[in-house]
Structure 1
Amino acid sequence: MKTDNIVKKAYPVLQMSCASCAISAESIVKGLEGVVSASVNFATTMLTVEFNPAIVTAEDIRAAVQDGGYDLLIEEDKAATTDLLDEIHTKKYNGLKRKTILAVVLSLPVVVIGMFFMDIPYANEIMWVLSTPVIFWLGKDFFVNAWKQARHRSANMDTLVALSTSMAYLFSVFNTLFPQFWAGRGVHPHVYFEAASVIIAFILLGRLLEEKAKGNTSSAIKKLIGLQPKTVTVVEFGEYNEIPIERVYADDIIVVKPGEKVAVDGVVTEGASYVDESMLSGEPVPVLKEKGGKVYAGTINQKGSFRFRAEKVGSDTMLAQIIKMVQDAQGSKAPVQKLVDKIAGIFVPVVITIALVSFVIWIIVGGTNGFTQGLLALVTVLIIACPCALGLATPTAIMVGIGKGAEKGILIKDAESLELAKKVNAVVLDKTGTITEGKPVVTDILWLNNDDVKKDILYSLEKQSEHPLADAVINYFSDVSPVAVSDFESITGAGVRGKADNEDYFVGNRKFLDEKGIIVDNSLIAESDKLSKEAKTVIWFSDSDNALAVIAISDQIKETSVSAIRKLQSSGIEVYMLTGDNEATAMEIASKAGISHYKAEALPQQKAEYIKELQSEGKIVAMVGDGINDSTALAQADLSIAMGKGSDIAMDVAKMTIISSDLTKIPEAIKLSKQTVATIRQNLFWAFIYNLIGIPVAAGILYPFSGFLLNPMIAGAAMALSSVSVVSNSLRLKWKK
């Protein structure tokens, strides 16, 4: 199949009731010609599919899914889809709530009669009347879904529920109508109306709690979506018009009033204000936005007002990309989940086989009560073996883990990355913009005889300079008023010159001053040598006769970098540094940051080769970078992490993005991975143990030794509680530090 036209889409799947449904829907889509890969996540109810639209369309996929007894939402309008899904989820939750309450209300008297008042007149008939609506009205969906599965020669959780409850019900009806059949054979004609109705009530309760939990796990997405306003004010032909966000296009001029949220990404054209960008950066201090400044969707304007030109709208905004990244990640499957899916796929047929075998064995060896007890064993096995706990074990933990990461400013692209992070034992850090701030600043300035009276001239010369380092000087003297400079000239590779108060002044390197015959004092030379040894860039300021000042410029190490590196090292992770900078600067930064392994003057391809070398030594490598030059190394690494203030390409390649560019988030991400994987293992352990113990006990394995037979009603309660316990355990992740 040609891969040129392959598209990847994610569509919500409707009407799934358990993990086996997800397997069934996935198999249906995988079987279609033109589909490259398909994956259905039960927890998020999302189908992620790669297909060739020239061979198979989204409509064809939906038709196939509908034929299998499910449904698919294929609308391209994501906002409308999200609203519709919320509406469907709310409707389903409310419907389940009503059904559950009614099932509990009708089942309670059946249980009370069945356990304590079996001898009252017409006890069986009363229980029959009360349990019938529970099974065939409130539990109707189980039978409908089981029939849909049977039509496609498949079986799922609903098959188990439908088989077990219908058999318990029919057996009880027969015993109510023809009690003499059993009495004549010396067997008491027990009825199990209470078991059948309580099973339905418990499973409905379990599903109600699952539905509520699934709503909780997607709260991170809802919070992110809530950051974008529904309407915006645009300037059209000089008039203000309020329009829906969907109608905003690139180059529209948008007005942002005090306290409003910025709707899309753009550039300020008029006005100024401070904007709260903590959503992106994690920093609580608002950032000043003036003409030419970039603003981002979801950030909050403070007291001023401004206009900006829309640049990125709809799905192109940074906020939309963040939302998509979290959605894709929550819908992806961890490698361990693929194994669980395979188990769930064969689980139901195996359980039905065990139930039938136990029924036959009871008939053969059970004596006079063999048929009755065999039937009870069959019913109980079918009830207790619900695969939902197994199916929910991994996706719920992944959803909560990725959602928690998003809340903490750690964006995780897929479940595999979240699972892999705990195994990382080597972290490779880019220098500029990762360990350091990524922008040069003035660190030291020494004036001749401590006389800084000419600083306004230095500031004014640098203000006219186009050299990248000039900005560092301008920012350092931001409170200085400029003076008039004439005859300004920029000499490439040397510096700048200009006249102020009829005297020549120069800013540049030492060679530039020497060429002009300028005298340099020994005290300034000594300071210059000291600063150069610290791997700082040194520039000079002079008049026409003497050097007046020596200025050191450097890219400062972020305040949080050193503590983050120490945390990584103390947890047994080796830290390496890669940089395209020179050896002296690299050595100085590595020394200050506490890194003993580093490589200087590394080209992009050499960075990737360095990571390959570490991998060949058996290390699981995480690469952290922020620039386009880091993209190949990021792609090569086992786990790639981008800094949020870096390039779009780095963020596209990376599997994780640290929004605030704060390295302390990396130990946090690794800890989150360990917590999530531990939760998955706990969930799987309890789901497997539950089934490994529950199924043999339900089949009657303890009866020869202790005379114990598991009541079908208790089996239904245990099955529902197993699913609830798995989801609750996943939600515990939310409150862990």
Structure 2
Amino acid sequence: MAKETLRIEGMTCAACARAVEKASSKLEGVSEANVNLASEKLSISFEEAKVNISDIQNAIEKAGYKALTETVNKTISIGGMTCAACARTVERVTSKLDGVTSSNVNLATEKLNISFEESKINLNGIKQAIEKAGYKALDEGSDIDVDKERKEKAIKSLWNRFKISAIFAVPLLIIAMGPMIFKAMGLMLPSVIDPMEHAKIYGVLELILVMPIIFEGRKFFKVGFKTLIKRSPNMDSLVAIGSGAAFLYSLFGLYQIFSGNHNAELYFESAGIILTLITLGKYMEAVSKGKTSEAIKKLIGLTPKTALIVKDGIEKEVAIDEVKPGDIVIVKPGSRLPVDGIVVEGSTAIDESMLTGESIPVLKKPGDKVIGASINKNGSIRYKVTKVGKDTVLSQIVKLVEDAQGSKAPIAKLADVVSGYFVPVVIVLAIIAALAWFISGKDLTFTLTIFISVLVIACPCALGLATPTAIMVGTGKGAEYGVLIKNGTALENTHKIQTIVFDKTGTITEGKPEVTDIKVVGGISEEELLKIAASVEKTSEHPLGEAIVKEAESRKLELIKVNDFKSITGHGIEAIVNGKKVFLGNKKLMEDNDINIKNIYDYVDNLAELGKTPMYIAIEKEIKGIIAVADSIKENSYKAIKKLHEMNIEVAMITGDNKKSASAIAKKLGIDKVLAEVLPEDKANEVKKLQESGKKVAMVGDGINDAPALAQADIGMAIGKGTDIAMESADIVLMKSDLMDVITAIELSKKTIKNIKENLFWAFGYNVVGIPVAMGILYLFNGPLLNPMIAAAAMSLSSVSVLTNALRLKRFKI
């Protein structure tokens, strides 16, 4: 079942909205169509096998209105990219298209993440632009099996190309360089193998050996010259020009030898070895790239391919795609759960460690939620399916990690800019260097060596891979520990945090408060007061209210029917019980309704000093008593706050509790700043105040009540045990309710940014040093001239070194 939101133009009244709903809901396959007149949007659910979005738009347009799609996000696999210049070209051509709002290429994953308005451009138009630029727009999405098969095929192809090239390159190198090595060692060459006496034979042999290498490396020439003609040169262009120049010059040299000039220089071995070494480098790069995405492959590989369901009382094994919401699934001990659901029969311990990072199995009984891909440890259970396909927790995690891996960190901007101009600048530098040496009196052989060396030593790949590979490994590692980082910006900025604001209930505390004290005044029994309070709170969903209801249930008190229930956010509740108006809530609720509570001030103060939260109960504006509730502090809260202080990070706590209760908890934990009696809607303002003082602020909350504050903070961290992953307002989702994961996120951010900086240093440093050396700067000071073959090896190793450094992040431990 697909869900879409369409923007409707032309609606002026409720009748218009009804007409749009009627026109769209009539279509076969449409299950739900709701129009919001205020926002002028249609929310529609439909079966894609029966109807598509175009059919829906056409039906609405026939009714006299215009239906426009919202901005959509797509991921397209790109074929044919070899370096950062390629990625930059794909970004440039797609971002220019009308309707495209953002275009991001990740060279490491070879994918384009693009956002566009379907009313202005469609996916085919984007793919055509990519094809026109000289690259392949492959299937959208991230089918792990197809993606894996394609990459394995590419790696195998590169390895075969290298093997064939090496078979001919080794004898080519021996024939070309062997005689030189003999002479360098002061040894006399037998006349039978002297290249001066048999120059024609040597030349022809070298040509015969280099031809298969040229053939195996034909892709470099095909892609390189194609992108050069399209004025978007890439790494292949540098290789094609460099090795092509060496080959053509050698053909001219061979012609000279046959014309009688046996001293003519041949560069066949340079052309062959350059292509062979760079093919080896591309193979090593492809293998390393595969290792960077292992975390997401592990996650996707967790889902079973089949499920055992009960159909008409009969157990039946079906493909995972055939499972639908409402089906009853049977899971036996040791098996993985195929999809999400709610237990209806049996009890067991479930290992959710691969999803949440929580090592201890969780006990599940009827009514409890279970997550697909987790492992059933010991009991047999039956559960009702609630989510399948893209809606499951695992799919949401995979999507979140993929989005993060496809995003860019701000630190990558400089590398992106440089990559865009890198190849054309290198070609110009190669020409300038060669001409400068030629004008200074050097011969054609010398200048050709300079020209080829500059082209083949320059490496745009290292620049392009420096950031995305580290982000891929870093976000993947975070997912392993149950820390889901949504994008590169969050990953980069987390280590800059100076102040962390924690929500109290459910974040610092367990979120399972219990009644600790009941104080009655005004001629009412303790049980009667609790019965009234529990009756009022039964309709409420507040954690403190749940504690009162549980206490009443434990005492087996019969609750009373409540009328005119009214919840006042941040204050409490008003309701009618037995014909009398009851007020239950905090001090503000009492003050707002002019209820005198002076006679119990001292008692309240004592409770507050113990960290307990008092809830006032008044009937007909007369105070009748107090029920105190306390929430136990999580075991790791102490440890996490201590660790944050060691990292010189200020810790604040924000809560709706009264100042004394909040201060008591803060004192126990050593919290630096207490923001008490704060209404939910004011939490974002408190975060903003801290930011205005010049601090980088993180907010840690449950992702629901704290959504505005999470969005306001520089970094929002949502607490949740993996049951509500799609917390739009947070930058980071902490799948366990463990504050030590905050430390993990900060440490991972530090390590990843350090790794990115190292990668960028080596990538820039390599090119800054390598290109001048290739241009002959050492030769000016009586140093050696760089051999093009050594330049080719260095080029290949530069990318591999960056990837290898990024892979060191896999060793990150909490």
Q: What TM-score comes out, normalization by structure 1 length?
A: 0.85
Measure the CA separation in 2 of the matches of 1:287 and 1:225.
Answer: 22
User: Could you say what secondary structure the match of 2:511 adopts?
Assistant: strand
1:582 correspondence with 2:658: yes
1:62 correspondence with 2:127: yes
Report the equivalent of 1:279. 354
| Equivalent in 148, 162, 185 of residue 86 of structure 1 | 148
Report the equivalent of 2:636. 560
Report the equivalent of 2:206. 127
Structure 1 segment 672-711 matched on structure 2, within 5 A: 672-711=748-787
Report the equivalent of 1:102. 164
Task: Encode CA deviations 1:660-700: one digit per residue, 9 max, x unaligned.
Answer: 12111212211111111111111111111111111112112
Judging changes above 3 Å, is the alpha-carbon distance between structure 1 residues 200 and 29 closer, same or farther for their aligned structure 2 residues?
same
Judging changes above 3 Å, is the alpha-carbon distance between structure 1 residues 568 and 686 closer, same or farther for their aligned structure 2 residues?
same
Structure 1, 44-53 or 28-37: larger mean CA deviation: 28-37
Contact 1:202–1:716 under 8 Å retained in 2: yes
Measure the CA separation in 2 of the matches of 1:465 and 1:370.
Answer: 94
Report the equivalent of 2:254. 176
| Equivalent in 396, 410, 415 of residue 321 of structure 1 | 396
User: Could you say what secondary structure the match of 2:366 adopts?
Assistant: coil
Task: Encode CA deviations 1:187-214: one digit per residue, 9 max, x unaligned.
Answer: x422222211111111111111111111
RMSD (Å) for aligned C-alpha atoms: 3.4
User: Could you say what secondary structure the match of 2:437 adopts?
Assistant: helix
Report the equivalent of 2:498. 425
Structure 1 segment 260-409 matched on structure 2, within 5 A: 260-366=335-441, 369-409=442-482
Judging changes above 3 Å, is the alpha-carbon distance between structure 1 residues 91 and 231 closer, same or farther for their aligned structure 2 residues?
same
Contact 2:613–2:657 under 8 Å retained in 1: no
Letter in 2 for 1:685: F
1:142 correspondence with 2:217: no
Report the equivalent of 1:617. 693
Judging changes above 3 Å, is the alpha-carbon distance between structure 1 residues 444 and 171 closer, same or farther for their aligned structure 2 residues?
farther
User: Could you say what secondary structure the match of 1:429 adopts?
Assistant: strand
Contact 1:268–1:290 under 8 Å retained in 2: yes
Measure the CA separation in 2 of the matches of 1:470 and 1:27.
Answer: 56
Letter in 2 for 1:254: V
Contact 1:268–1:291 under 8 Å retained in 2: yes
Letter in 2 for 1:111: L
Measure the CA separation in 2 of the matches of 1:376 and 1:579.
Answer: 71
Q: CA deviation at 1:736?
A: 3.5
Report the equivalent of 1:573. 649
Judging changes above 3 Å, is the alpha-carbon distance between structure 1 residues 649 and 199 closer, same or farther for their aligned structure 2 residues?
closer
Contact 1:626–1:650 under 8 Å retained in 2: no
Listed as ranges, the gaps of 5+ residues in structure 2 are 1-6, 10-67, 181-193, 519-529, 564-572, 575-583, 586-601, 616-625
Measure the CA separation in 1 of the matches of 2:451 and 2:717.
Answer: 52
Measure the CA separation in 2 of the matches of 1:629 and 1:376.
Answer: 67
Report the equivalent of 1:504. none
Q: CA deviation at 1:51?
A: 0.8
Measure the CA separation in 1 of the matches of 2:439 and 2:260.
Answer: 18
Measure the CA separation in 2 of the matches of 1:310 and 1:618.
Answer: 48
Q: CA deviation at 1:707?
A: 4.9
Judging changes above 3 Å, is the alpha-carbon distance between structure 1 residues 490 and 55 closer, same or farther for their aligned structure 2 residues?
closer
| Equivalent in 245, 265, 269 of residue 194 of structure 1 | 269
Task: Encode CA deviations 1:208-255: one digit per residue, 9 max, x unaligned.
Answer: 111111111111101111221111122222222222222222222222
Contact 1:645–1:661 under 8 Å retained in 2: yes
User: Could you say what secondary structure the match of 1:438 adopts?
Assistant: coil
Contact 1:627–1:649 under 8 Å retained in 2: no
Measure the CA separation in 1 of the matches of 2:769 and 2:703.
Answer: 54
Contact 2:717–2:732 under 8 Å retained in 1: yes
Contact 1:626–1:646 under 8 Å retained in 2: no
Report the equivalent of 1:52. 117
Report the equivalent of 1:165. 243
User: Could you say what secondary structure the match of 2:763 adopts?
Assistant: helix
Task: Encode CA deviations 1:565-594: one digit per residue, 9 max, x unaligned.
Answer: 111111111111111222222111111111
| Equivalent in 13, 17, 25 of residue 90 of structure 2 | 25
Task: Encode CA deviations 1:347-376: one digit per residue, 9 max, x unaligned.
Answer: 11001101111121122112xx43221111
Report the equivalent of 2:234. 156
Judging changes above 3 Å, is the alpha-carbon distance between structure 1 residues 649 and 713 closer, same or farther for their aligned structure 2 residues?
closer
Q: CA deviation at 1:723?
A: 0.9
Measure the CA separation in 2 of the matches of 1:636 and 1:551.
Answer: 34
Task: Encode CA deviations 1:245-286: one digit per residue, 9 max, x unaligned.
Answer: 222222222222222212222112222222222234433332
Judging changes above 3 Å, is the alpha-carbon distance between structure 1 residues 315 and 491 closer, same or farther for their aligned structure 2 residues?
closer
| Equivalent in 162, 174, 179 of residue 112 of structure 1 | 174
Contact 2:348–2:379 under 8 Å retained in 1: yes
| Equivalent in 435, 452, 464 of residue 508 of structure 2 | 435
Judging changes above 3 Å, is the alpha-carbon distance between structure 1 residues 491 and 362 closer, same or farther for their aligned structure 2 residues?
closer
Q: CA deviation at 1:315?
A: 1.0
Task: Encode CA deviations 1:621-650: one digit per residue, 9 max, x unaligned.
Answer: 111111422100111111111112388488
Contact 1:628–1:647 under 8 Å retained in 2: no
Structure 1, 263-272 or 572-581: larger mean CA deviation: 263-272
Contact 1:25–1:68 under 8 Å retained in 2: yes
Report the equivalent of 2:70. 5
Measure the CA separation in 2 of the matches of 1:443 and 1:201.
Answer: 77
Measure the CA separation in 2 of the matches of 1:579 and 1:465.
Answer: 20
Report the equivalent of 1:641. 717
1:657 correspondence with 2:719: no
Q: CA deviation at 1:529?
A: 8.5
Judging changes above 3 Å, is the alpha-carbon distance between structure 1 residues 114 and 465 closer, same or farther for their aligned structure 2 residues?
same
Listed as ranges, the gaps of 5+ residues in structure 1 are 446-457, 495-507, 510-525, 540-549
Letter in 2 for 1:392: L
Letter in 2 for 1:381: V
1:226 correspondence with 2:301: yes
Task: Encode CA deviations 1:373-423: one digit per residue, 9 max, x unaligned.
Answer: 111111111111121111111111111111111112111000111111121
Measure the CA separation in 1 of the matches of 2:558 and 2:753.
Answer: 67
User: Could you say what secondary structure the match of 2:632 adopts?
Assistant: strand
Letter in 1 for 2:152: T
Measure the CA separation in 2 of the matches of 1:295 and 1:414.
Answer: 27
Structure 1, 159-168 or 677-686: larger mean CA deviation: 677-686
Measure the CA separation in 2 of the matches of 1:343 and 1:627.
Answer: 39
